[in-house]
Amino acid sequence: MIAVAGLALLLAAMPPVSAEPDTAPAAGDSTLHRYLQTLSDSTDRYFGPVAAGADTAGLDSARAYALVHGDRWPHHARNKLTLLPWVSFNRVDGPVLGAAAWYGRAQGRGELRGSIGTATGPNLMLGRLAYTKQIGPADFYWRLRIAGGRETVTMDRERTNRAIAALAGFFAGEDHNHYLRRDGMDFSVSHEGVAHGVTLAYRDMLESPRSVTATWNLFGHDIAVADNIPAQQGRAREISLDAELRVPRTPVYVQALGAASGAKIGSDFGYRRTRIAAGADLGITRWLSFVPQAEYGALNRDALPQESFYLGGNPTLRSLPSGSLGGTRLALARGELVLTRDLFALLGSQRRSSMPVLASVFGGTGAAWGHDPFGGPDRPGGDWPDDSEWRSEVGTSLLYQPGVPEPTDFLRVSIAWPVGAHSGGSRVSVAFGRAMDLLRPFER
């Protein structure tokens, strides 16, 4: 304590090595100071009292006291337990009721995050516990994650949109996802910098099929999808490498995933799964952005439904119902032109709208071919599909950008029309996601 008190006195008595600003400025500095002061005075007038100078009376003694007696913000707990209810819904679990909690910070000693609940449909306990530890600054860090438990996951590994599917399924029976159960643990090490990210992961999970238990919805509509693709049962041990790179000096992002499973690591399955996606955010003018995206995926050896690729729904082709086509190969390309000016403002509203609505037009083409996870005949094609397998569309969206949880997230209402050989009626969809939605959100 004496040493700390001494340190406090020493610091309080320590003269500033550098002088206070402009106590004796050179002539040039003085002129520059006056120039900047003129700008500051104008700022003061705009902001008023919040810009007033600080009252420094009594701070020396407060500093000496704080150095001896207190650390930073002693009245704030650094780590606190946060508890929230966990409510969810899907066709196989029915309503899920439980609680979620987290404690700590990944940047500190680590974050512990867990959830536990009952799937009331099959009367099954679900839960997951994860520990995350992050080392290094936010723009260049390493992250370790260990997690385990029992959970219901979607058959489509790339696209889940669980929140929207839960609401659509609960209110109107419009849950188009297919599900499986996973029991086990996974482990991953990630590294992320400003323009790159890499994740090496291993998982050991028992995968099992699920059956539909909730055939009802709040408004009593017929449910859109009455069955659930059965996952192939077995223990999946998989090593995967996921990498993301922003191409230097360009606005282009590239993402690649390679996952392998086989008997050598004790897996019941043997497959190689590869996926490459690229996208760019091209600002054309101050109010117009063009977002081109492309994706290619391939599943080799065991054609498992839970490792297949799915086409349809908001992130892929909006003119098709979500995940309505599947295969062991997938190719997709899409371009979207987004007007980022509020439509209300364009229509002449003088006041700044509290709910800015943006608009976009899009067009895309894609195909899923190879072994059909729905049990149908294989779709023809090798590395590329037969011409007859391509589905194309055009459409338009109204977008609301709430700014949370990510700044580029959109709530999107779209209408899309299929064109070409498979042309037909329009389809309206509601979704929440990023503008560059073919690129999976990287571990952050």
Partner 1 sequence: MRYLPGVIAGVLLAVSASVPSAIAVAAPAPSAFATPVASVSLPTLAREDTMHTAVPEVLVAAPRLTLDEILDRITRAERRRDSLLVDESFVATMRLMHAKNEDAPPSLLEESVVQVYRKKPDMARTLLLRHRRDKSEKGGSEVQVDFRSDMSEQIVNFAFRPEARRDYRYHIVGRDVAGNQLVYRIRFEPKSSLDPSQPSGTVWVNTNDFVIVRQELEFTRSPVPLILKGVDRMVVERQKIGEFWVLRRVLLRARFTFPMPRLGRRIDVGLQFDDFRLNSGLPDSLFAKATR
CB of 280 closer than 8 Å to CB of 335? no
Give ∠ CA 190-191-192 in degrees, rounded to 5.
120
Nearest to 389 by CA among 408, 370, 409: 370
Residue 242 CB partners (closer than 8 Å, separation 6+): 198, 199, 201, 255, 256, 257, 442, 443
Least distance in angstroms from the C-beta of 132 to partner 1: 18
Binders of partner 1 in range 49-68 (CB under 8 A): 49-51, 53-54, 56, 58-59, 62-63, 66-67
**Which C-beta is closer to partner 1: that of 41 or that of 387?**
41
> Which span (40-48, 322-330, 364-372, 380-388) binds partner 1, by CB under 8 A?
40-48
**Which C-beta is closer to partner 1: that of 6 or that of 420?**
6
Binders of partner 1 in range 122-161 (CB under 8 A): 137
Which of 18, 85, 264, 425 is in the footprint of partner 1 by CB under 8 A? 18
Determine the 3-state secondary structure of 417 from DSSP: strand
**By the rule CB under 8 A, 76 interacts with partner 1:** yes
**Which C-beta is closer to partner 1: that of 268 or that of 342?**
342
Binders of partner 1 in range 362-421 (CB under 8 A): 400-404, 407-408
Determine the 3-state secondary structure of 76 from DSSP: coil
Least distance in angstroms from the C-beta of 341 to partner 1: 8
Return d(Cα 333, Cα 308) in angstroms, integer: 18
Least distance in angstroms from the C-beta of 44 to partner 1: 9
> Which span (172-180, 227-235, 292-300, 335-343) binds partner 1, by CB under 8 A?
335-343
**Which C-beta is closer to partner 1: that of 14 or that of 375?**
14
Binders of partner 1 in range 167-226 (CB under 8 A): 194-195
Return d(Cα 4, Cα 67) in angstroms, integer: 7
Which of 151, 204, 268, 342 is in the footprint of partner 1 by CB under 8 A? 342
Distances (CA, A) of 250 to 188, 243, 246, 340: 29, 18, 7, 21
Tokens of 171: 């209110």
Binders of partner 1 in range 279-318 (CB under 8 A): 281-283, 286-289, 291
Nearest to 342 by CA among 287, 397, 290, 395: 287
**By the rule CB under 8 A, 438 interacts with partner 1:** no
**By the rule CB under 8 A, 14 interacts with partner 1:** yes
Give strand pairing partners of 111. Answer: 132
Which of 16, 220, 348, 375 is in the footprint of partner 1 by CB under 8 A? 16
Which of 320, 435, 438, 439 is in the footprint of partner 1 by CB under 8 A? 435
Residue 258 CB partners (closer than 8 Å, separation 6+): 240, 241, 272, 273, 274
